[in-house]
Amino acid sequence: MTDDWMRTFEFVTVIDIFADFKPLAWMEGLTFFWPSAFLQEFINAKGNEFASVRINGEAYRLKTITGKRSHSDIAAWVFKDNCFFTPKPASAKLPFSYNIIPDQIRWLAASTIVRINKSKRQNKMPFPRWPLDLTVDSIEDIERCCVECEDIITKKRESSIQLTHDIDTPESLENLHLFLEIEEKHHVHSTNFIVPRGWKLDFSILEAVKKKGHEIGIHGYNHDNRTPFLSSIKMEARIDEAVELLLDYKIKGYRAPSLLMSAPLMEILGKHFHYDSSIPNSGGFYSSQRNGCMTARPFYYNGILEIPLTLPSDANLLFQNKKEEEILEMWIKLTKIILKSGGTVNLLTHCEKRYSGNKKMLDIYDEYISYLNSLNLPNLRTLSQLHGRLSIEHNEMKRNG
């Protein structure tokens, strides 16, 4: 990223949204990175005032645009530059599978990477803003609401909530029931991504998970972090083998190990799956910088639905030495913001004891789901249920042009 590119963006805090523009009210008090060109247009426009914002300590009013736009599709452009991992992370460059490194050393390595990325980021990396960046959603809503020749948002967006687990190890699969029992107590279901070729799977556990109404998805091949960087033929062979092995579980979705994604992998996934859920809203400091799509709304990319991970995962927070209470507080705070913005709350937890498979973390998981239930939202779904609902809307939109 060049300095020049960075200078074309501004750090904008929305102070106030004016009464006629209720669909934008969720932005009040939040900070976004807006392209300068986009901002200039709304500052210089001649229409109705819809927001007051602060940029570098100075207040500005934004006005609706009445004529033709000079910049459209900015949201798509911003997002495209950020959502894919281009550089290979160190774990994908090792001459052996990183899975053979003992857990404690891996943990140490991961938390060191987080610390290094965190210190680098302070002066260099402006976004995505961790732990949550809704820049793309803010641009999208302003474009739809404040450009008078375009459609005004009439329909309220339906938020939804998803709970997911990545099952990376035999220990994790053995502990999974601890999480499912909590979920079932609260009458909710989760989506569980299984590594198909990492170790010998205990199919009796998978059978029980399926029977109880939870979803099973595929989590890479053997978790060696190499799949996204292989040739298309090798990638395809891995995916064919994984899908074949788990044929009985009606697999609809994919989650990439370590959330490593590449454009070629995404394209192949589109042929085999209904959705992918590997791109974080803001990956923060692990495992690479600048990984994040800056939206909390599911979107279609080359024909496949991407359901972004919108809350920081347990691993992400534990690597930063966050305490259980801080983690719960952060999840609840971000959940409120995402639901208000019409986004999808999508949480990833890991079932090993060193992550969430211990008493303290299970307790906050329980408390978090109690909180979700207290909201009385009817939309706590598995990812494939969310895909089902969104694909109906998507097809209707396509039909209506």
Interface residue list for Zn ion (CB under 5 A)? 166, 168, 257
C-beta of 143 vs 168, nearer to Zn ion: 168
C-beta of 10 vs 168, nearer to Zn ion: 168
C-beta of 257 vs 280, nearer to Zn ion: 257
C-beta of 132 vs 195, nearer to Zn ion: 195
Shortest reach from residue 255's CB to Zn ion, in Å: 8
Shortest reach from residue 195's CB to Zn ion, in Å: 7
Residue of 152, 125, 180, 155 lying closest to 382 (CA atoms): 180
C-beta of 135 vs 175, nearer to Zn ion: 175
C-beta of 27 vs 307, nearer to Zn ion: 307
Shortest reach from residue 352's CB to Zn ion, in Å: 10
Shortest reach from residue 392's CB to Zn ion, in Å: 31
Shortest reach from residue 86's CB to Zn ion, in Å: 20
C-alpha to C-alpha distance for 162 and 274, rounded to whole angstroms: 16
Shortest reach from residue 75's CB to Zn ion, in Å: 29
C-alpha to C-alpha distance for 94 and 129, rounded to whole angstroms: 30
Look at phi and psi of residue 352 and say left if phi exceeds 0, alpha if psi is from -120 to 50, else beta: beta
Shortest reach from residue 193's CB to Zn ion, in Å: 7
C-beta of 128 vs 257, nearer to Zn ion: 257
